[in-house]
Amino acid sequence: MGKLYSLSAAQMKDLLNKKEVTSVEITKSVIDRIEKTDKEIQAYISYNFDEALKQAAAVDEKIAKGEKLADMAGIPVAVKDNMCTKNLRTTCASKMLGNFVPPYNATVVEKLLDEGAVIIGKTTMDEFAMGSSGENSAFQVARNPWDTSRVPGGSSSGSAATVAASQVPVALGSDTGGSIRQPACLCGIVGMKPTYGSVSRYGLVAFGSSLDQIGPMARCVDDTAMLFKSICGRDMRDATSKDYTYKPYGDSVKGIKLGIPKQYFGDGISAVVKEKVYRAVEVLKAQGAEVVEVSLPSTDYALSAYYIISSAEASSNLGRFDGVKYGYTGSKRGSLDELYESSRSEGFGDEVKRRIMLGTYVLSSGFYDAYYKKAKILQKNIAKEFDDAFKLCDAIITPINPTTAFKIGEKSDDPLAMYAGDICTVTLNIAGLPGISIPCGFSAEDNMPIGFQAIGKKFTEDKLFTIAKCYENAVGGFAVKEF
């Protein structure tokens, strides 16, 4: 049937329903594609090929019996390697968890398996999801399929890269400060960071518990929405999850008011990114959307608040990795203190250590009020500013990344420059809002993808999918890399 791996999930589903292909045929095509291309892309830490073929065969048996199948049945899915998968290694791209095999599945994985999805493997990421480039991994660096000398973004680097390289139609990522939207932008695909609480975090290895959110990534809007529909909803095992019901999205932006915040179009954003985002707004205006100016004055301080809050939560969450209960055990074991010190110094990479130290510092008795308490106050201010802005508009349009993807190694020695790239994305996690990354063209200078971000009120994912779908239709679909 040709290049089955290159089809969208919706196209695969249609062929399965018509019994024109089998899930095993689709899965074999995807596996073959990964085997041929992943040495260059390095999108996967662990493959699940044998089990994937068994999962696909089980779906084919159900089809043969005439059973009605769920949306994701028979569709290959890649999973970021910080989501627990029973009997399949979950490393968080860290030496600390290099041999960890969970005894249970994350809720999102369980939901997909219950629908009959085919779990194809676990994707490369920044260690413990701490990074914006995919370079902070203990094992390998994923590559951007549009130019393999460049980063795919992070921390969901492998998930973005495998989708962009047409290795798999859809993937799961996690987003703590932009880690779905930013790599989706840099790789030219669609990525949704859902409202905090709309998708269960049970089984997601925690980075910043009040900021983390699992979400879908795909090459088109319909696939992104289809995957989101399968994973969203209440989970009794996650007290922060909400009673959320998926709502279908519309086919018109007529009358939708789009807010443009001047603070997101400042000097730090490259001219070509601004141009492409403004042009995308004009495309939506031509379809009947209205544009208003809004203000989010605390944006300049959001990055500082984010790194204080996220690092504080990281230092607390990663305290469980001590070399005793599970994970890497250090080489020095003369005393308990020596064991802790060697396990954590040998098991964690530089970026993780950097954030643990920062988090421990801002939580210490002498600096809690000066840093962490102020960051939490600023968090409330940022949320209120969004609330005020949404009184004037239905959604907010911004850039995602200040530039196109940079060269691998270009910013490795400058953590602050790396952190600055998150300025357009962290505010959503701070406020718990949904946001979607939508491809909007390429830079003429380096021919790399650019995307824009649509931000909505809490639990208005349907409106964001409407905006994304209408834009996708208007531009005739998104470019696919012939890799």
Distance, CA of 9 to CA of 17 (rounded, Å): 12
Q: Are 216 and 204 in contact (CB under 8 A)?
A: no
pLDDT of amino acid 415 = 78
Instruction: Please tell me which residue in 23, 166, 179, 298 is annotated as part of the active site.
Output: 179
Instruction: Please tell me which residue in 8, 94, 133, 155 is annotated as part of the active site.
Output: 155
When pLDDT is cut at 50, 70 and 90, the band that residue 452 belongs to is very high
**Bigger pLDDT: 326 vs 237:** 237
Q: Has residue 407 got a pLDDT over 70? A: yes
Chain-centroid distance, C-alpha 334:
41
Chain-centroid distance, C-alpha 74:
23
pLDDT of amino acid 164 = 98
Mean pLDDT of 163-190: 98
87-96 pLDDT, tens digit per residue, is: 999 999 999 9
DSSP β-ladder status, 449-456 and 435-442: antiparallel
100-128 pLDDT, tens digit per residue, is: 999 999 999 999 999 999 999 999 999 99
When pLDDT is cut at 50, 70 and 90, the band that residue 168 belongs to is very high
**Weakest mean pLDDT among 252-256, 265-269, 323-327:** 323-327
80 is catalytic: yes
Signed CA dihedral, 369, 375, 378, 384: sign only: negative
Q: What is the CATH number of domain 4-231?
A: 3.90.1300.10
What's the token pair of residue 328? 């890497």
391 is catalytic: no
pLDDT of amino acid 1 = 56
When pLDDT is cut at 50, 70 and 90, the band that residue 193 belongs to is very high
When pLDDT is cut at 50, 70 and 90, the band that residue 2 belongs to is low
pLDDT of amino acid 419 = 76
Question: Considering only CA atoms, which of 220, 118, 126, 241 is closest in space to residue 173?
Answer: 126
Distance, CA of 91 to CA of 155 (rounded, Å): 14
On average, the pLDDT of the chain sits at 96
Mean pLDDT of 255-281: 96
Q: Has residue 401 got a pLDDT over 90? A: yes
When pLDDT is cut at 50, 70 and 90, the band that residue 230 belongs to is very high
Q: Has residue 33 got a pLDDT over 70? A: yes
Q: Are 222 and 469 in contact (CB under 8 A)?
A: yes
Q: Has residue 377 got a pLDDT over 70? A: yes
Angle, CA 157 vertex, CA 33 and CA 266 arms, to 5°: 135
Q: Has residue 246 got a pLDDT over 70? A: yes
* HSE (side-chain half, CA atoms, 13 Å) at 345: 8
Mean pLDDT of 242-253: 95
126-155 pLDDT, tens digit per residue, is: 999 999 999 999 999 999 999 999 999 999
270 is catalytic: no
Residue 270 exposed, middle or buried by CB count within 10 Å (0-12, 13-18, 19+): middle
Mean pLDDT of 42-47: 98
Distance, CA of 309 to CA of 322 (rounded, Å): 22
